[in-house]
Amino acid sequence: MSLNTLILNQGAERRLRAGHVWIYSNEVDNKRTPIKSFQLGEQVLVEASNGKSLGVAYVNPNTLICGRLLCRDTKLRLDRSLLVHRINIALSLREACFDKPCYRLVFGDSDGLPGLVIDRYFDIFVVQISTAGMEAVVDEIISALNKVFTPQAIVLRCDGKMRSTEGLESYIEVAQGEVPELCPFEENGVPLLAPVLTG
């Protein structure tokens, strides 16, 4: 899949080179690559003003944070394969810290998946999507979870405040399986219950 290119203003690449992953709308060279010419959630190649590659991001032309860098390697795309890879890395980090499979499995930018949060309650997974770029790959997210795990259920809790800023509608749905009114989980040896559809 070939991607359109988003070019930054001169010097605007400094933050990205220092490790930041957000691109602000005032950092885009709107003469060469008008931000409004991109589609909501579109993946793009990001370039410095001198043409040097900075990586792949997804964009939202209507928000102050108009781009979120996904990877520095321009050959990669936000697809099922990358999602599976990043979820596996997140899983290995959590398994090193937790005795039971009850934790925040994916925590957005921290796990290289901006706009995506996944909470795990044993074999029930609650997915929160807050950006248009992640909403564009919701089916791939579900597929990736099924590749890495054997979910009893997957819940989409896409009702956070950030969605309206991104121009997205809110919704809650059970993407697969059946979800009890109260989902059991355990934290620090204490058995608990969570109302994942309403809480």
The CATH number for 173's domain is 3.30.750.80
Q: How many DSSP H helices and E strands does the chain contain?
A: 5, 12
> What pLDDT shows up at residue 115?
97
- 199 domain-assigned: no
Environment class of 129 (CB within 10 Å of its CB; exposed 0-12, middle 13-18, buried 19+): buried
Examine the domain organization and report whether 139 and 115 are in the same domain: yes
For residue 177, name the pLDDT band (cuts at 50, 70, 90).
very high
Same domain, 112 and 180: yes
**Calpha distance 169→95 (Å, rounded):** 34
Q: What is the DSSP letter of 35?
A: G
DSSP 8-state code for residue 8: B
Whether 93 and 187 map to the same domain: the answer is: yes
Q: How many domains does the chain have?
A: 2
CATH of the domain at 22: 2.30.130.10
Assess whether 43 and 100 both reside in one domain. no
Distance of CA 80 to the CA centre of its chain: 12
On whether both 90 and 66 belong to a single domain, the answer is no
**How many CB atoms are located within 10 Å of the residue 137 CB?**
24
Banded model confidence at residue 199, pLDDT cuts 50, 70, 90? confident
Domain that holds residue 146: 80-194
Residue 6: Cβ within 10 Å count: 27
DSSP strand pairing (4-7 vs 53-59): unpaired
Tokens of 196: 């994942």
Q: Rounded mean pLDDT of 135-141?
A: 98
Per-residue pLDDT averaged across 95-114, rounded?
A: 96
**Backbone phi and psi for residue 83, each to the nearest 5 degrees, phi listed first:** -60, -45
Q: What is the pLDDT of residue 18?
A: 95
Q: Assess whether pLDDT exceeds 80 at residue 98.
A: yes
Per the domain annotation, does 146 fall within a domain?
yes
Answer yes or no: is 109 within a domain. Answer: yes
Pairing between β-strand 4-7 and β-strand 43-47 as defined by DSSP bridges: parallel
35 and 115 belong to one structural domain: no
Task: Pick the last residue of a domain from 71, 98, 114.
Answer: 71
pLDDT at 3: 97
Cα 68 from Cα 15, distance rounded (Å)? 12
Q: Are 71 and 55 in contact (CB under 8 A)?
A: yes
